[in-house]
Amino acid sequence: MNYFYLTKNIAIVSIRLEDVMPFARYVEPGRVALVANGSLKGKLVSIVDVIDQTRVLVDGPGSGVARQKIRLNQLHLTKFRLSYPFTAPTRVVRKAWTDAKLNEKWDASQWAQKLANKQKRAQMTDYDRFKLTSARVKRNRARTAVFKSLKTKAARSGAFGKRNVPKSAERKPRTKKAPAKPAKNSFYKTQTTIIKICRVIL
């Protein structure tokens, strides 16, 4: 959709509405929305008509929702939009719904997958959560081991790190250090020195 405006130089410039408006999801006929609360929570509907600023007429032949009016604060607008005329009957909406394969597109969307995962987590028991935690621990350990091995190989080849890590076969065997002699008491040292001096004098 384009519109025109006059600049200071009285020149007519054409700009696309999509480039000016920051939003791409409008309350319009054909817009698909997700019911956020109420008895129809989690179901898809399509806006057929706008009643006023707070209510719209929706229809959901593909999700089992009969034509009815609903408040806008109960809807979450999606990126999907069906193509049918204004105030179209249910049979036209059903045909547009089927032709667009809306149910398949919605199931493949990231939004629907997040809702499905959230529902699964809500239905989990304590034992299921314990098994999930154990599986995550095993996965993290295996992933860390693989990462360390790849990091070591990259360091040996010079592709990672500042120095090459020598192979374990090329490393020199460690030699045991001789145990350090215990330090003598300072009083004992002083006494020994005095005895030596006395012997020299006498």
Q: What is the pLDDT of residues 170-199, one digit of tens each?
A: 566 677 676 666 555 555 566 666 666 666
In 20-105, the DSSP E strands lie at 31-35, 44-50, 55-60, 65-71, 75-81
Q: What's the rounded mean pLDDT across residues 16-43?
A: 83
Predicted local distance difference test score (pLDDT) of residue 199? 66
69: tokens are 């009016």
Whether 43 contacts 31, CB under 8 Å: no
Average pLDDT over the chain reads: 81
Q: Which residue has the higher pLDDT, 62 or 11?
A: 62
d(CA 110, CA 127): 28
Q: What's the rounded mean pLDDT across residues 90-119?
A: 93
Predicted local distance difference test score (pLDDT) of residue 56? 95
In DSSP terms, 58 is beta-bridged to: 47, 68
In DSSP terms, 144 is beta-bridged to: none
Give, for 13, the enclosing helix (H) or strand (E): strand 12-16
Strand arrangement, sheet containing 55-60: 65-71, 55-60, 44-50, 31-35, 75-81
90: tokens are 């249910």
**Residues 6+ positions from 164 with CB-CB distance below 8 Å:** 155, 156, 158
Nearest CA among 77, 79, 76, 97 for reference residue 88: 97
